[in-house]
Structures are given as structure tokens and as C-alpha cells.
């Protein structure tokens, strides 16, 4: 079931909210658990049992980690939880990738498993492992109730595309949380804004990307427009989902951490990754990079740590070499920045550092998008050809009439996208709210705006086609 669907918006969600606020607090988690299982079962009937068993495995491992605390048994339980957790990812997500590589290297003909990837498996696996690791480290308390733990893992607002919610961040709220009309109101507003990002901006920009990629009248400008459109598309698609998850969380009394902070205004690649998909970045930092020694080791080991983390970051996004190359590209840029480039950039006018950052981010998204195509490698040849065109090496004209036609047709969407990807409107509204009259007008117009946006989105959904979130693939 999609957040951006009529069944969810007008049947599932109203019923769940109604039941949730009718029942006493001690029953609310059970309402959320049942609703979350039904939500997942709607689209993943066969794999719901995998998620349930994975959750129970994480809970049982937690029991043993706590039972044998201070003894070797606790470490054995932790290692076992890591093995079981990653085993699911290896079987469903990486088995065919590994087998294809083995067949290619050794000339064997081992049959592929060809298993469908359970939606959200990367997200809920990481959440379970974060609980077990934090419990072992003493940063989290044991959750004795298996149903409460399963509520945490399966919580439908963020189940299938994040953000990655750590147990320590919602530990208190699972047992005791506050509900208020203000939180529900804020949650509804945040949800509608995220929904609008997805349906009105991300999906429209995706249509432009498809036009550009299938055009037989390519130009340098058209390919740059495609790269920009894809960057905006993936941002509004994923940040829109995160907004919806955060908004839904607020409706049910949870305060999920932010996952995006206007990444396209960054002045370096280092800053970009502090602002993009923050829950994933912090997960790899805390559970892989720092345990490997972080930057408090020799330069050789530090280089290894960077490469390992970014190779894993690439593989997390997909079992294809294109994603590994995408991750290692960022590793190389980050190493160069840490070595000398970031100091140089800081001495230059801001405009140069922003152009540098956006240039490499756009190049990276071209590789990333190609990773969604093709077989084990992703369509790297296509990615390289697109980058050549962007650099003027593809033997195509700088601009064509078709390019200008589509740019005129999508100009409004691009302008809205540029503005929406920056904090410009947010800062303007905050500035206006400092004046009493303007604050009253904004407070009056805000709910009206949300209603209008919901009506427009509904019209698009009734008239539109199925468009899944990009990060469902991961």
C-alpha cells in the first residue's frame, strides 16, 4: 500500500486514526501493530512472515544479550543477531549478485535464486540491528514485551522507506507518549506537504526524466536538464516520503528525527552527506565507521574505513556494481576534500564551492539512475554515454528545438523545484511571522493551503498512474 494512494488516504488511515484514539493507551500499540502488519500484508503477503520472524529473532537475541551481560554469552548473542540479520539481506538482496559474479569469474553455472526483494527489508533490518548493538553497548534498555518490540520494527509510517528509526530514539515513546491536538495538526500538515512533494513534484519531474532519456533528438542542454530533473525528482520523492513518515509519527505521538536538511545548498560533498539521508549516514558512522576505528587510526586504516563504509553505502542501495562505483566515487571525493580540497574551497567565494558540489552530485545521480537499469552492473555504459553528452563529448548539438520545447513546458515545475529544494520559502515565512499581522494571515492561510493541496493531489491520484517511491527498491 502506498501513502500516495486513495485506499491509504481515504480508507486505511482514517480508520486506523479513529480506532487509535478511541482505545485506551495500553491498547494503542496493539492497534498500531495490527495496522502495520495489515499495511505490509497489503503489498507483501508472502513476505510478511519474513518480517515477523526477523522481528522476533531480533527480540530474542536481545533477551540473550541482556541475560548474559558481562559474559561471553552476550557477545555470542550479538554476533548471532548480526549473522541472522545480514543473512536475510544476503539471501534476498545479494545472493544473485554474488552468484552472478562467481559464475562470471570461475565460469560456473550456479543457478540464481531469483527471489523478489521484500519491500523495506534494508530499513527494518538496520533498525533491529541497531537495537541489538545499542543494547549490547548499554545504550538501550531491554524491551521485554515482544509485541511492543514488533510495533517498533513494523511501525507503518516508516516501515518501507525510512527514515531509519533507532530504538533509542523512540524507546520512551513506545511505553509512554503524549498526544495533543497541536501534534496531530502539525503531523497532518507535514504529511500533506510530503504527499504534495511526491505527487505534484517528484512524479512530474520523473515524467521529464523519462522524456529526456528516450528522446531521439538529444542535446547537451537536454541531458543537463535531465540530470537536474532527476536530482530534484529523487530529492522530492525521498524527502517527501520522510515528511509523510514524520507527519504520521506525530499523529500517533512519535517524534522521528529529520532525514533531510536541504542538501542541495551544500558547499562541499562532506556537507552534502551531512544533509542527505541523515538516518542512513549516521547509522553507517555509528555502527561501522567508528567501530572500525574511524579517523583515530593510521592513514592506511582510515583510508580502508572510508572505502569500506562507502562501498557498503553503495551496496545498501542496490546489488549492482553501478551502486558500488557510485559509493566509491563519493569516498574518493570525501578523501580529496579531507586531504586538501575543502580548505581550498573555504577560501573561495561560496558560489564556486556550491557549483563544485552540485556538479559532482549531478554526475553521481546519473550513475545512480543508471544503476536502476540493466543487470548486475547496472547500465554503466548508458551512464558513461550520458555523462559524455553532458561534457559535450557525445557528438550531439548544444541545444535543439525539442529541448527548448520541453524546457518551456516544464519551466514552472523546475522553478518550483529549485525554490522547494532550498530553505528560501521557510526562511521567508519565519521572517514574516515576526510581524503580528503577517503571522495572523499565515496562520489563517496555512490550513486552507493544506486543504487545497490535498484536493489537488487527490485529483492527480484519481487521474494518474501507479508511481512507487524510489527507495522501495532498497
The rounded distance, in Å, linking the Cα atoms of 67 and 72 is 11
SS3 content of the chain, % helix, strand, coil (to 5): 75, 0, 25
The rounded distance, in Å, linking the Cα atoms of 413 and 396 is 26
Name the grid cell of 340: 586538501
Do 159 and 124 form a contact (C-beta atoms < 8 A)? yes
Do 266 and 353 form a contact (C-beta atoms < 8 A)? no
Nearest to 13 by CA among 256, 254, 198, 247: 247
The rounded distance, in Å, linking the Cα atoms of 96 and 372 is 16
User: Which spans in 176-277 are helix H?
Assistant: 181-196, 203-214, 220-251, 269-275
DSSP 54-102: HHHHHHHHHHHHHHTTTSHHHHHHHHHHHHHHHHHHIIIIIHHHHHHHH
The rounded distance, in Å, linking the Cα atoms of 384 and 130 is 37
List CB contacts of 38: < 8 A, sequence separation 6 or more.
12
DSSP 267-296: SSHHHHHHHSSHHHHHHHIIIIITTTTTTS
The rounded distance, in Å, linking the Cα atoms of 428 and 430 is 5
The rounded distance, in Å, linking the Cα atoms of 292 and 288 is 6
Radius of gyration over every alpha carbon of the chain, rounded to an integer in angstroms: 23
317 is catalytic: yes
Q: Which of 61, 233, 277, 317 is catalytic?
A: 317
Q: DSSP secondary-structure letter at 156?
A: G
Report helix, strand or coil for 340.
Answer: helix
Name the grid cell of 194: 510530503
Do 402 and 217 form a contact (C-beta atoms < 8 A)? yes
List CB contacts of 156: < 8 A, sequence separation 6 or more.
32, 35, 36, 39, 40, 248
Q: Which residues are catalytic?
A: 317
Amino acid at each position: 500500500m502506498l501513502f500516495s494512494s486513495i485506499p491509504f488516504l481515504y480508507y486505511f488511515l482514517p480508520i486506523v486514526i479513529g480506532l487509535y484514539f478511541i482505545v485506551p493507551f495500553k491498547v494503542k500499540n496493539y492497534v498500531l501493530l495490527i495496522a502495520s502488519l495489515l499495511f505490509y500484508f497489503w503489498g507483501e503477503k508472502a513476505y510478511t512472515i519474513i518480517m515477523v520472524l526477523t522481528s522476533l529473532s531480533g527480540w530474542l537475541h536481545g533477551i540473550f544479550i541482556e541475560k548474559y551481560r558481562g559474559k561471553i554469552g552476550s557477545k555470542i548473542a550479538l554476533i548471532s543477531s548480526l549473522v541472522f540479520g545480514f543473512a536475510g539481506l544476503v539471501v534476498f538482496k545479494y545472493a544473485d549478485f554474488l552468484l552472478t559474479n562467481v559464475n562470471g569469474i570461475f565460469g560456473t553455472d550456479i543457478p540464481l535464486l531469483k527471489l523478489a526483494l521484500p519491500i523495506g527489508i534494508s530499513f527494518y533490518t538496520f533498525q533491529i540491528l541497531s537495537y541489538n548493538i545499542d543494547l549490547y553497548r548499554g545504550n538501550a534498555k531491554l524491551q521485554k514485551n515482544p509485541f511492543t518490540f514488533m510495533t517498533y520494527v513494523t511501525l507503518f509510517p516508516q516501515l518501507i522507506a525510512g527514515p531509519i528509526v533507532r530504538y533509542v530514539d523512540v524507546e520512551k515513546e513506545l511505553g509512554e507518549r503524549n498526544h495533543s491536538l497541536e501534534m496531530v495538526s502539525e503531523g497532518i500538515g507535514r504529511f500533506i506537504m510530503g504527499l504534495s512533494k511526491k505527487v505534484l513534484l517528484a512524479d512530474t519531474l520523473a515524467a521529464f526524466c523519462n522524456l529526456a532519456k528516450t528522446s531521439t533528438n538529444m542535446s547537451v542542454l537536454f541531458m543537463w536538464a535531465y540530470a537536474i530533473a532527476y536530482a530534484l525528482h529523487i530529492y522530492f520523492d525521498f524527502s517527501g516520503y520522510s515528511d509523510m513518515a514524520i507527519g504520521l509519527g506525530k499523529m500517533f505521538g512519535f517524534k522521528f528525527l529529520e532525514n533531510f536538511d536541504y542538501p542541495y545548498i551544500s558547499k562541499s560533498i562532506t556537507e552534502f552527506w551531512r544533509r542527505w539521508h541523515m538516518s542512513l549516514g549516521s547509522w553507517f558512522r555509528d555502527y561501522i565507521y567508528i567501530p572500525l576505528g574511524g579517523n583515530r587510526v593510521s592513514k592506511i586504516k582510515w583510508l580502508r574505513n572510508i572505502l569500506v563504509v562507502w562501498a557498503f553505502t553503495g551496496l545498501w542501495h542496490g546489488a549492482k556494481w553501478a551502486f558500488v562505483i557510485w559509493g566509491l566515487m563519493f569516498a574518493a571525493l570525501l578523501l580529496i576534500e579531507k586531504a586538501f580540497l575543502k580548505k581550498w574551497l573555504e577560501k573561495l567565494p561560496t558560489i564556486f564551492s556550491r557549483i563544485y558540489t552540485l556538479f559532482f552530485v549531478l554526475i553521481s545521480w546519473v550513475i545512480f539512475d543508471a544503476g536502476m537499469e540493466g543487470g548486475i552492473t547496472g547500465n554503466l555504459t548508458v551512464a558513461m554515454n550520458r555523462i559524455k553528452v553532458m561534457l559535450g563529448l557525445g557528438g550531439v548539438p548544444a541545444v535543439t528545438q525539442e529541448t527548448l520545447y520541453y524546457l518551456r513546458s516544464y519551466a514552472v515545475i523546475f522553478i518550483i523545484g529549485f525554490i522547494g529544494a532550498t530553505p528560501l520559502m521557510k526562511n521567508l515565512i519565519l521572517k514574516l511571522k515576526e510581524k503580528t499581522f503577517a503571522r495572523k494571515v499565515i496562520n489563517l492561510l496555512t490550513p486552507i493551503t493544506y486543504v487545497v493541496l490535498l484536493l489537488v493531489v487527490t485529483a492527480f491520484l484519481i487521474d494518474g498512474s501507479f508511481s512507487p517511491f524510489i527507495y522501495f527498491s532498497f
